[in-house]
Amino acid sequence: MEQWAELRREHFVRGVSIKELVRRTGLSRNTIRAVLRAPAAPKYERVPAGSKLDGFKDEIHALLRDDPLLTGQRIRELIAPLGFDGGKTIVDDYLREVRPLFVTPRTYQRTIYRPGEICQFDVWEPKLEIPVGYGQTRKGYVVVACLGYSRAGAGALIFSKQTPDLLFGIRRCLWSLGALPETLVWDRQSGLHATQSRLTRPGQASDCSGSLCRSGIRRPSAGCKTLSRRGSIRGTN
């Protein structure tokens, strides 16, 4: 690099002839001419050496397609019988580079509720029976409610999962919360909704009408998890 710059400086700046440069440096005339004609300084270019992993990348891709979470150690064990004799580092480095191409990205959806939009209900079953007086106990349940926006909660004690008791629990929770949300959501509670194998019987949804709000409990269609309607009780899977 330094000699290339010196030869060009002597010839183009100081006017030293090629013959004189040959005499001073001992280089051939053709070499000096090539230096003077070159548009840029010469540089050493080396062909990149191949990796021991090059012949096994297709096999690694096939393994990752079958199982994107396959460990580096297991992959080395599987390609070793094919002739791979490389080390742990080159396999792990390559996996860090290509594994994200085979892992299906997880998708997340954030659900946001407006004030008064929705109230979620469920039934909690206490482990111990409830004392009801005179030394007696009964199996009890608690209807629990939670508002989607404020996360405010309420609960009501009931002694069966029959529709009248569930409706009482709903009304008691709404009374405690002090307002009627637009939509009430249940997780396919049997007292309010038919089981997965049969449709809600005619009139079952209308049993709730006038007690809480306009209601409708229907089996979700294929591919539809929920049924939402203004002022409705909604069944979900």
Q: Strands across the sheet with 118-124, in order?
A: 153-158, 141-147, 118-124, 183-186, 233-235
Residue 175 confidence (pLDDT) above 90: yes
Q: Model's pTM, two decimal places?
A: 0.43
Residue 170 confidence (pLDDT) above 80: yes
Using left for φ > 0, alpha for ψ between -120 and 50, and beta otherwise, residue 111 falls in beta
Options 3.10.20, 3.30.70, 3.30.420, 3.90.550; CATH for 118-235 is 3.30.420
| Residue-range domain boundaries for the chain | 2-37, 54-101, 118-235
pLDDT tier at 233 (50, 70, 90 boundaries)? very low
| Residue 122, pLDDT score | 92
Range with the poorest average pLDDT among 24-33, 58-67, 213-222: 213-222
